[in-house]
Structure 1
Amino acid sequence: MRLNEEDALPVEKTHLSWNPETTRARVDGLCRNPALPDPLVLRILEHPAANIAAVMYSRAWSDELFDTLAAHPDVHLREMLARSGRATGEQRARMVDDPSLAVVMALLEGPYGREAEPLPGWAYRKLADRPKIRWLVPLLGPGELSDAAVAAFAELGDDELTRATPRPEPERITADQARAVLAGDSAWERVKIALEPGLPADVITALAADPDPDVRLYVSMRPELSEQERAAIDYRVSENDRLPRLAWVIEADGEQLQRCVSSAHPGVRRSAARNPRLTAGQIATLAADDDFPVRLLLCESQRAVPADLVVRTYLEARVVTRGGLLSHPALDGADLTRYADSPHWEARALAVLDPDAPAELIERLSHDEHPGVRSWVASDARLSRERLLELFDDPETTAPAAANPNLPVDLMEAVLEAPIDPGEPSQDDVLVLGHTTPTHEPLAEI
């Protein structure tokens, strides 16, 4: 595989103000560059600053490069290749004879991403003949195989592959056991039984008046309680509380589901937002809920939510999963350019996600006063070559500029040839686990 000489342009030295920090940033950007030529992909995978996962999951694959990496000695790299959502089903099917069980399981679990192609039918049939697969598949739990693999094995009519491992139903707590927990000193044990089905009425009454607030909160979400009985319990729910998924709510329908949607209890409404049987009217009700986690869970669980709710929820959210909202189907076809003049920089940046945004707007946003907006724009293929090179030379935007598919190939090569300390970058920051920000920050106007 050779680079096309027509793609090579003279390297402007003004763009090569190299230092270890900018080089690492540029290598990181190149790892995400979908236009990185095949020979440079092989080189970057050996680079000490490479983000291997970004390379493996962010690009489509030529047959030649895929086959080269499918024979790579690093089993972890082959496993990532088997999970690549940008690889076609036919390409991944070439790995069915891989000697590693981890790679084969990656094929069966399927790629990350919603739109990934399944393997062709013949590949599942061939996998079904592998002794280790025949032994392992019946032991797997729900969700550990892709839907395509489950369907393919079912079509084979092979009892060994479709038989689920018997899992005993959890034993329900007896009345005596519940009263023993109630008489104990452990608030955590009382929390654990507060949602158990079939508790005696006297135990429920006692838990509703428990001195521990978590016990009172959990028991307040029992299915047999009326709204008046819930309201009589002294429970508190904050927007930062992580509450359990209530199966009885998620599985509800009809009048019971409507009662859950209309409940005054935020914990009940949060689980209602996950219910797959919500009507359009119920979605509209929950979309206007004053509890932010209800709106967040609604966006994460429902396809038929309005685009403006997804955008506002993304902008307000301060949770680690917020980025997933940007791939919500409600944003497909939505006019995101209307946020280009928002006072909030994160809203202005969303215009880049609109495929109909004109190049003139992208160019304007590349000069935005906020570096966050400029960084979002730096990787956009609609940028002019001149502006792209300016952003590449700016330390604040050099990484996303290196991810731009229109970056000249000679600059890509220069990034990989730049000297760099092979050691790890300095680790000056300390990660502290816990609540460092609220769940969200409300915005009055977008």
Structure 2
Amino acid sequence: MTADRRRDELMALAWNTSAPADVLLRLLRPEAADAWHALMSRALPDEVVDAAVVHPERRIRACLADSVLASGEQRGRLVDDPDRRVRQGLANAPMPFRGSVPPLPLSVQRRLLDDPEPAVRRDAAHFGGFDPQLIAGLADHAEADLRAASCGHWSLLSESTRDRLLHDPDDDVRRRARMEACRDDAGWTGVLLDTEPAYPSRRDVILHGAMTTALAGRIAASDDAGDREALALNLGAPFETVRKLADDSEHSVRLAVSVRPEFTEAERAAIDVVVRPSDRLLPVTWVRTCEDADVLRDCARSSHIWLRRSAACAAHLPADAVDLLSRDDDHAVRLLLCENQPTVDGEVVLRTYLECQVITKGLLLAHLNFPKAGLADRFADDPDPVKRALAVQDPGIPADVLARLLDDDDGGVRRAAAGHPALPPELLLRACDDPGTAGSALRNPALPPEVMHERLDALGVPR
């Protein structure tokens, strides 16, 4: 067996959701080190966490600290870890793709903010996602790093505390405080623009800072297209100043101007901009956060693709706008709609999945309305292997169809079939021994625990 195949099989067993605690505990052995990261990336029973917390190998403990599926209480047990790197990992909140993790207990958060190591305290304050009141309470801390973190919760600070931070002896604390203060005070916007020439701080100031007409005019006349683009996106900037940028020589500036909410649809359409199907554009903030159903309907009906894409991401998009955007000509609109709207019709999700070329397309299979029932009848004999693989998503797929797909000419179809829990036991065991399907078969939740143990025996992992 090659080293790659051995690693893949160990990882597959670690990811098997039905693996009992005694199998998972074997995977903590040094002989299963290739599976450690996978093992710590899944939900774990308490007895496995018990063993991981006191495991002699730091890598195990560090992976648990960074786990996106462990509970806050489970991760929090590492707060007294003897290795500073583990505690520092705990202080940095894991960041799953399009998700969040449960917070650490408040008692653990306080301990990390008082950790003996400065790096742990700093990361806990800035990157831990800790309780806002707790971080705001650091405004008078002796350490500048922690005072700077408190500025991120500006609205919770008193006027006297804000004033102290704005004039703090530490350069970084003053900068952070002034970055917050400039959102409401154009005076601080001007100060920062005169003292903070560096990107990205300067862009953030222009993007979010309060603006006088004179200050906005100065930025609009800048030779830097990035400055002008950021000004156009700042909804606090005087519109009459921004409107003049609709004829800017740079397309990026005109594009930023074109999504201002003040324009009528006709005025917007008159601006010379083009959004191509391949353009990757972040959702427009004012559209994504909009709660006005009528405004969102207008965005969904707009000829401007960027507004329609942004509306597809809005949490308060009304049902009729969801229906309208589900028929949009722009693939990105439909993809964003499926990714963000739980009520979109299942057939739209299916069609979007089949058209999709991005690496995250598999996430659409988890959409609540994805029409899994009946996929075997629809696709098991389709000439397209992508559709045949979808047939295996059908929870009611007949055993004989599943067996046929396990012998399909396409490797992706065979792997999909090997992971289906309805696969007959003898075929599941056969798939475990086939190098092309072993990874999927060993992750199959129908795999008997005794077979998992036997495979670990074969892989040289002691009982």
* Higher normalized contact order (CA 8 Å, seq sep 6+, divided by chain length): 1
1:127/1:48 Cα in 2 relative to 1: closer, same or farther (>3 Å)? closer
Q: Secondary structure at the match of 1:22?
A: helix
Q: Report the equivalent of 1:68.
A: 51
CA RMSD, 1 decimal: 3.8
Assess, with a 3 A threshold, how the Cα gap between structure 1 residues 190 and 336 changes in structure 2: closer, same or farther: same
Counterpart check, 1:130 vs 2:111: yes
Instruction: Give the fraction of aligned pairs with identical amino acids, expressed as a percent.
Output: 35
- Counterpart position of 2:129: 144
Letter in 1 for 2:55: H
Summarize the Cα distance change of 1:209–1:126 in structure 2 as closer, same or farther, 3 Å threshold. closer
Q: Which residue of 1 aligns with 2:441?
A: 401
- The answer on whether the counterparts of 2:373 and 2:396 sit within 8 Å (CA) in structure 1 is no
Structure 1 spans left out of the alignment, 5+ residues:
1-17, 419-446
In structure 1, what is the Cα distance between the partners aligned to 2:249 and 2:90?
52
Q: Tell me what 1:293 maps to.
A: 332
Q: Say yes or no: does 1:32 pair with 2:20.
A: no
Partner of 2:384: 344
Are the structure 2 counterparts of residues 196 and 114 from structure 1 closer, same or farther at C-alpha, using a change threshold of 3 Å? Answer: closer
Matched, 1:383 2:406: no
State the AA in 2 paired with 1:409: M
Please tell me whether residue 323 in structure 1 is matched to residue 362 in structure 2. yes
Partners of 2:297 and 2:318 within 8 A in 1 = no
| SS of residue in 2 equivalent to 1:165 | helix
1:165 to 145, 148, 153: 153
| Residue aligned with 1:386, SS | helix
Q: After superposition, give the CA deviation of every residue in 1:82-124 in whole Å (9 maximum; x if it has no partner).
A: 5656656775565565565446546x779889798x68xxx83
Aligned mates of 1:171, 1:242 — CA distance in 2: 25
Aligned residue in 1 for 2:304: 265
Note the residue ranges of structure 2 that are not aligned, 5 or more in a row: 116-120, 140-149, 155-179, 184-207
How many residues are matched?
A: 386
1:302 aligns with 2:341: yes
Give CA deviations for 1:39-66 in whole Å, capped at 9, x if unaligned: 55455443477143322223542x3322
Deviation of the 1:269 alpha carbon: 0.8
Q: Which letter maps to 1:218?
A: A
**Aligned residues of 2:325 and 2:334 also touching (Cα < 8 A):** yes
2:320 aligned with 1:277: no
Report the more deviating stretch, 198-207 or 399-408.
198-207
Matched to 2:429, the amino acid is: L
Q: Distance in 2 between matches of 1:172 and 1:65?
A: 52
Note if contact 1:23-1:415 (Cα within 8 Å) is conserved in structure 2.
no
Contact kept? 2:136, 2:153, Cα under 8 Å: no
Q: Distance in 2 between matches of 1:48 and 1:76?
A: 12
Distance 1:298 1:165 in 2: 32
Q: Residue type matched to 1:416 in 2?
A: L
Report the AA paired with residue 266 of structure 1: I
Does structure 1 retain, via aligned residues, the 8 Å contact 2:347–2:371? Answer: no
Q: Which moved more, 1:39-48 or 1:398-407?
A: 39-48
Per-residue deviation at 1:279?
Answer: 1.5
* Amino acid of the structure 2 residue aligned with 1:307: G
The answer as to whether partners of 1:305 and 1:330 remain within 8 angstroms in 2 is yes
User: Are positions 1:413 and 2:398 aligned together?
Assistant: no
Q: Give the deviation of 1:37 after TM superposition.
A: 5.5
What does residue range 46-57 of structure 1 map to in structure 2 within 5 Å?
Answer: 46-47=30-31, 50-57=34-41
Q: Report the equivalent of 2:286.
A: 248
Distance 2:227 2:262 in 1: 21
Instruction: Give the equivalent residue in structure 2 for 1:430.
Output: none
What is the alpha-carbon distance in structure 1 between the residues aligned to residue 217 and residue 269 of structure 2? Answer: 24
Distance 2:355 2:50 in 1: 44
User: How far apart are 1:275 and its partner, in Å?
Assistant: 1.3
Distance in 2, matches of 1:223 and 1:85, equals 38
Distance 1:294 1:105 in 2: 37
CA distance in 2, matches of 1:181, 1:91: 50
Shift in CA distance, 133/254, structure 1 to aligned 2, threshold 3 Å: farther
Say if 2:229 and 2:256, in contact at 8 Å, map to a contact too: yes
Shift of 1:277: 1.3
- Closer, same or farther: CA 85–377 of 1 in aligned 2, 3 Å: farther
The structural deviation recorded for 1:334 is 5.1
What are the equivalent positions in structure 2 for 1:38-117 lying under 5 Å apart? 38=21, 40-45=23-28, 46-47=30-31, 50-61=34-45, 63-82=46-65, 84=67, 87=70, 94-95=77-78, 98=81, 101-102=87-88, 104-105=90-91
